[in-house]
Amino acid sequence: MSTITAPAEQKIVGEVPKQLYIGGEWRDGAKGTLSVEDPSTGEPLCEVADASTDDAKAALTAAVEAGPEWAAHPPRERGEILRRSFEALIARADDLALLMTLEMGKPLAESKAEIAYAAEFFRWFSEESVRIDGRYSVNSNGQGRVLTMKQPVGPCLLITPWNFPMAMGTRKIGPAIAAGCTTVVKPAQQTPLSMLMLVKILEGAGLPAGVVNLVTASSSSKTMAPLIADSRLRKLSFTGSTEVGRKLMEQASHNLLRLSMELGGNAPFIVFDDADIDAAVQGALIAKMRNIGEACTAANRFHVADKVADQFAEKLAEKMGAMKVGRGTEEGVQVGPLIDNGQRTKVAELVEDALGRGAKAVVGGHARVGAGYFFDPTVLTDIPDDANLLQEEIFGPVAPVKGFADEDEAIAAANNTEYGLVAYVFTNNLKRALRVIERLETGMVGLNQGMVSNAGAPFGGIKQSGFGREGGYEGMEEYLETKYVAVNL
Ligand code: NAP
């Protein structure tokens, strides 16, 4: 039974194409359908196509067949299609935000911010499509010339997670289209609706058949493994957990596929005693509570100078405790449900583990009783070194605050993780900021700000947060090969 009651909700869910998109045609999945649910109630929203392995193969075939024409397609026209799609996304932002909130749970304002962020990747890469160049240089011995040209990588498989249902798609699809690559896209089964609407928008913007093919499936491993093993595929770009990323790398090693791996995070948020504490608390709220804490960039551990740790924890607890929890469509809600019961149980276990080892809850600490997968915003202090949440990605609205004595201790604690996606540093001392940032083992740093996401910047991690960059000039390089020509003059 559907929980959608408001006409606007019914309308937007009704508008979503529910089929697979292969070779420019919408068609049913051979395995029937899979259910998409509303995490604020646990009730189904609708059914979408469930692809078989043959469907997935057909999607790759369509991408392979469209490849040569798309690679030769005028770059300006590739860019214009992205530009028109950017404009359509912005024009439909309210409806698309509602759809995203229904399937993923985040508050409407945050969904709208994600639509704008997602659209920015199309705008950025619409501009980059006409800036693909090579070089021409004289050999060092003066004889002969070096010529390089950039060419599209070829058919790409793009696999995305549920936490940013649209932006994780546009930051792969945008550069792929701009570079002249064709694609098979596989969104997370929990949140396929945003991506289905995105593909409908691309189709409406004039994207030729076969350039983007969309497969939704209840069994990712069964449908994706044959594609990864297929020698016609040239690249796999994956955003998701480190655990799945490792498996996919193993599979991809057979064909030595080009890879981009945007994996898990365990971001340290470091506050020095010379920082503006109110600004740090404001930054912490964004870094922790954006996306209900379900972001790879979410601050996972707050390392705060001993002198200001209590003050910081109290102020943060006051703000987090005052946040309104509820269905993301409701007025004033700032914290939606977690994606499913499994995720909520994992968050609860991490909190219980910390409390069991001696941590204290300044605010929150519990799952909410009733329908939906809600968890109260939680601030913990007195975190013991062996608490699991210092090592594991929490992916929920839980902020552990831990003191440090000096700069060396802060850096050592921050780097004490297998992950290396992002870190946040709050200090008013520029020399200290640069000194600390140089020693942090992460791909990104937010300096005196709690958010790093930006379509024009290279997003990505090191260590077990993966490799490759999305956004910025670097984002294009992921979809281009460099061919070197030795010219005999
Ligand atoms: P996940 O379980 O790794 O799933 C990600 C995607 O991979 C989904 O589409 C999933 O499909 C698919 N998948 C799972 N197992 C697969 C397999 N064996 N073969 C092929 N595909 C498979 O991650 P998630 O729980 O959706 O997302 C949360 C994770 O993403 C967190 O760790 C977060 O840090 C990370 N993330 C990283 C970034 C970044 O840029 N670094 C950004 C956002 C999120 P199903 O839906 O069918 O399982």
DSSP 177-195: HHHT--EEEE--TTS-HHH
CA of residue 73 to ligand 1 center, whole Å: 32
Mean pLDDT, rounded, for 346-369: 97
Closest CA to 235 of 246, 248, 223, 244: 248
DSSP H or E stretch at residue 14: helix 7-15
12/92 Cα distance (integer angstroms): 11
User: Could you tell me the two tokens for 278?
Assistant: 């109110």
For ligand 1, atom 42, name the residue with the nearest CA. Answer: 296
User: Could you tell me the two tokens for 66?
Assistant: 């469209």
Q: Compute the CA torsion angle 201, 206, 208, 210 (nearest 10 deg).
A: 0
Mean pLDDT, rounded, for 253-263: 98
Q: What is the pLDDT of residue 6?
A: 86
For 7-65, write each residue's pLDDT tens digit.
999 999 999 999 999 999 999 999 999 999 999 999 999 999 999 999 999 999 999 99
Q: What are phi and psi of 65, to 5 degrees?
A: -65, -35
- Alpha carbons within 13 angstroms on the beta-carbon side of residue 351 total 25
Q: What is the pLDDT of residue 419?
A: 98
* Number of separate helices (H) and strands (E) present in the chain: 15, 22
442/459 Cα distance (integer angstroms): 11
Q: Is residue 3 predicted with pLDDT exceeding 80? A: no
Instruction: Indicate if 262 belongs to the active site.
Output: yes
Q: Is residue 1 predicted with pLDDT exceeding 50? A: no
Q: Residues 28, 31, 33, CA angle at the centre, nearest 5°?
A: 65
For 127-174, write each residue's pLDDT tens digit.
999 999 999 999 999 999 999 999 999 999 999 999 999 999 999 999
- Confirm whether pTM is higher than 0.75: yes
Q: Is residue 2 predicted with pLDDT exceeding 50? A: no
User: Could you tell me the two tokens for 424?
Assistant: 């946040």
Q: Is residue 232 predicted with pLDDT exceeding 80? A: yes
- Which of the residues 262, 392, 393, 478 is marked catalytic? 262
Ligand 1 nearest-atom number relative to CA 242: 32
Q: Is residue 123 predicted with pLDDT exceeding 80? A: yes
Q: What is the pLDDT of residue 5?
A: 62
Alpha helices, DSSP H, located in 27-147: 53-72, 75-91, 93-104, 108-128
CA of residue 307 to ligand 1 center, whole Å: 39
Residue-level length of the chain: 489
Alpha helices, DSSP H, located in 322-373: 341-356
DSSP H or E stretch at residue 439: helix 430-439
CB of residue 262 inside a 6 A radius of ligand 1:
yes
Rounded mean pLDDT of the chain?
A: 97
- Helix, strand, coil % in the chain, rounded to nearest 5: 40, 20, 35
CA of residue 10 to ligand 1 center, whole Å: 28
